[in-house]
Amino acid sequence: MLNRQKRLLTLAKSAVLLLGMVAISACEHSQSESKLAEIRKAPIQLKVGEGFKNPLGYYEVQPRFSWQMATSAQSNAQSAYQLQVASSVELLSSQPDLWDPQKVLSQKTSWIRYQGEPLQSRQDIVWRVRLWGDDDQVSQWSEPQSIELGLLQNDDWQAKWIGHPDTLLSNEPSQETLATPQYLRRSFMVDGEVVKARLYVSAKGLFSPYINGEKVSNEDVMTPGWTPYAKRIESLTYDLTQRLVQGENVIGSSIAGGWYAMRMYNFFDREHRVPARLLAQLEITYADGRVEKVLSDESWQASLEGPIRFASIYDGEKYEQAREMPGWSGTGFDASNWLPAIAQSLEDEIAITPKRHAPIRVTELMPVSEIVSAQDGKVIFDFGQNMVGVPKLNLPVVAGQEVTVRFAEALNKGEFYTDNYRSAKSTNYYLPDTTGIIEYQPTFTYHGYRYIEITGYDASVSPSKEWATAVIQHSDISVHASFNSSHEKLNKLTQNIIWGMRSNFFDIPLDCPQRDERLGWTGDAQVFVTPSMYMADVYGFWSAWLQSAREEQGEDGKIPVYIPFVEWINFASSGWGDAVTIIPWELYVLTGDKTILADNYQMMKGWLNFHESKSVSFISNMNTFGDWLQPYPSNLEDGENGNRGNTDFSLIGTAYFARSVELTLNAAQALNKQDDIASLTRLHADIKQAFLQKFFDDELNLIEAIPTQTTYLLGLAYDLFPKDKREIAVAKLIALIEEADSHLRTGFLGTPLLTQVLQEAGRSDIVYDLLFKESYPSWFYSINNGATTTWERWNSYSIEDGFNPQGMNSLNHYAYGTVSRWFYEGILGITPAEPGFKRIRIEPQFGEQLNYAEGGYRTINGEVNVRWQLLDKNLILDVSVPKNTRADIVLPDVDKSSLLLDGKQVNGDRMIGLAPGDYQIKGVIL
């Protein structure tokens, strides 16, 4: 019995042991599978072109592909990739029929150019990618992504430009007729199962399309956008597959002149001189293979009798409720009194191409913050934020009593003020036909504003905040600005700059969104391109605008001062036209995409030719706006109240001539343009030598001109002084700053260079001092006076005195927001050591004004993040380095003997070539 019990006990122990071994084995297997899954993590963030995800109506016939390594993947770097492209998901997983270059040994994860079978308009393709890590382990395939091309050539269009017959120029229509929006519609039949329906649509002017009585898009506004209309007009593509019904359908659109028919400044006689036109092509694919096309042509019907009676970019919109046409874009509507549309063929010289960046969209709704006043039938609403878009009204009205809505950026000593809008009337009118509550939102205009004034409402009803909602509109850019600090006003400045960017990225980079200008000024653009990239996904936005610049360049290389060009200011300006060399290079440095250089290289060279034609012995005599709006100008005779600043115009032109040559030389080297490298090198050396000899003596004193901060900033930032004399130039710059009571004295051109030059000189303490100044001129001065965006002038407005009497006071300009670049490159210290941040330099600048700062930048390989905190003199620095990159951390202001990297002492003050991952550095500030 005892032996039997022993045997049973032994068997039980063996069973337990066996079960334990099985459990351990299963656990080890599970851990192994989990580990393998991490190793095999598929690539993420698949994008095409300048950041598109699954685009519809795409513009590139040879797309560029990009992706990132998964943040949780075990490998730190890619060693190879395989990219497959097919015409269907089924083929993609079995036998890719368009492109499969097999395994490619490369660390590149971005801007991989398609080299497969030729693609064509309308083509729908899918793609995926997998990669091998630095351990040569292959990842899983990414999820399939799609690309559908738009209509790439004019030959793809069978539709025609259509409009109302009364707007034919041969009929000599009045300005009033041309300023009246047109309504267009067509009925058509659907007689089968629809598997695909695409609306390709464009306009000379603006369009607002409908299908079966509903808007095609509730978000897109002011489409298709603003391009050089004589050269190129963009089209959009919409998916209507689920919007069509069996039997009768109706497609319609209202159109208005928009930018196409706009005036410039106060030249009223130039506005509404050309008619708006619609171009629409609806292509319906049935399950049985049939393709039916509904084209804009003479079969459409047209009316000028709709409720929108007037629409203008600058002046607003007029709406009459009695003229509403319920159901005009749907079935069952009586259009017997509408006229047949007139149709005109496409012009060969005007390219109709897919829109290459996101359109203007409704991005946010904002309630009224405060009722400022309400008396005598007039109410003023404050939204608390200067912004751009239109208000949506929901208010009581009286039949026949017109409602007027005016706009303002600020109250001038408590009074509603519109003088800074100049000739832009920026007023909306609504004429009600019935008494009661109306809803109204303008369609073909936009406004820059913080306050609205409404009159003409039903005065028997007490005003309510619910009467108005701000519908915020701008180009649909993804804002990812993440800078934050321990200083409240610095954080407020950050938000003001972001609002300035949102307000002025309105299909093109505007200078301001409210007055009779709203132009793509090149000078503003070139100083703001880099900070905007740190704050938002705007690569496609800038790339598209550069195409417009190429189209506007003259045969002699001349670049207009604003793009697209509208007849007004015809001269070229140094510091402005140089945008066409500065912007492509800055975008390349930030993205690593050589396409931006290749696309714009000939334009860059053309601009150099124009520079040279405006120079004698390498000294520029080009016209210039100078250091625009430099504070406290003196001894000026330019007749513009000192707007152009004191810095010598010829010096500015010569410095920018040198800078443009240097950047074009850099582009030539990146693109391996061997024939140009030697000549550009010689030209650059000649300009530098001439610059020194013409303007400075041996001690870098100006020979004739007035010394300014910008004088020395240009020479230092653009490396125009000999290395052995840079210290002299820095000393003179600092002396000029001290002479100005430690304030800046810089305008549009000099201000962006202050932070860069002073940091390179080891004087970030002066940058901090300038940045945190409270008195004029300074960034905080505007905040102290209620700014919610950045201003055109350093002193555009004050609470005490109101608007600056010099005029031209926009409270929504982004030019001085360029300081935000230093938030990322200086305070956080994030800069690209190699183009595209393949190698990242992190050198944060500490100042006694801050206890901590944090933020990051979304590089093409992933996000780099920096956070630092100071406790007395003790530094805690947290850094995240993205996959497939390396980082160099440089801390010259920290006692190197105190440095700890993840708790371990490190030798020296440098941490070079850090692999991807999260790090914590501790040390003592000197």
The sign one gets for the Cα dihedral 8, 13, 17, 23 is: positive
Please, what is the Cα angle at 362 between 358 and 368, to 5 degrees? 150
Kindly state the DSSP code that residue 511 receives in the 8-state scheme: S
* Three-state secondary structure call for residue 500: helix
Residue type at position 808: M
Active site residue 792: yes
Q: How far is CA 772 from CA 776, 785, 800, in A?
A: 11, 15, 21
Active site residue 292: no
The answer to whether 537 and 51 have CB atoms below 8 angstroms apart is: yes
Residue 592 has phi, psi (to 5 degrees) of: 75, 10
Residue 238 has phi, psi (to 5 degrees) of: -125, 140
679 membership: H or E segment, kind and range: helix 674-695
494: nearest Cα among 828, 34, 749, 895 = 828
For residue 580, count other CB atoms closer than 10 A to its CB: 28
Which residue out of 234, 409, 517, 843 is catalytically annotated? 517
C-alpha–C-alpha distance, residues 242 and 244, integer Å = 6
Alpha helices in 539-594 (DSSP H): 539-552, 579-591
The answer to whether 224 and 199 have CB atoms below 8 angstroms apart is: no
Residue 259 has phi, psi (to 5 degrees) of: -65, -30
Which residue out of 234, 453, 792, 843 is catalytically annotated? 792
Whether cis (ω within 30° of 0) applies to the bond prior to 224 is: yes
Through-space distance between the first and last CA atoms of the chain, rounded to whole angstroms: 83
* Three-state secondary structure call for residue 547: helix
244: nearest Cα among 195, 186, 172 = 195
537: nearest Cα among 45, 51, 147 = 51
Residue type at position 588: Y
C-alpha–C-alpha distance, residues 407 and 399, integer Å = 24
Joined together, the tokens standing for residue 385 give 């934020």
Torsion of CA 30, 34, 35, 39, to 10 degrees: 150
> Strand pairing of 182-190 and 214-215?
unpaired
Residue type at position 669: Q
The sign one gets for the Cα dihedral 527, 530, 532, 537 is: positive
256: left (phi over 0), alpha (psi -120 to 50) or beta: beta
238: nearest Cα among 271, 269, 284, 275 = 284
Q: How many CA atoms lie within 13 A of 63 on its CB side?
A: 36
C-alpha–C-alpha distance, residues 367 and 365, integer Å = 7
For residue 617, count other CB atoms closer than 10 A to its CB: 9
896: Cα separation from own chain's centroid: 41
Calculate helix-pair angle for 579-591, 522-535, nearest 10 degrees. 10
C-alpha–C-alpha distance, residues 446 and 556, integer Å = 36
* Three-state secondary structure call for residue 583: helix
C-alpha–C-alpha distance, residues 808 and 814, integer Å = 15
Kindly state the DSSP code that residue 99 receives in the 8-state scheme: B
Kindly state the DSSP code that residue 486 receives in the 8-state scheme: S
Please, what is the Cα angle at 689 between 687 and 693, to 5 degrees? 115
C-alpha–C-alpha distance, residues 721 and 692, integer Å = 7
C-alpha–C-alpha distance, residues 316 and 842, integer Å = 48
Show which residues are catalytic.
517, 792
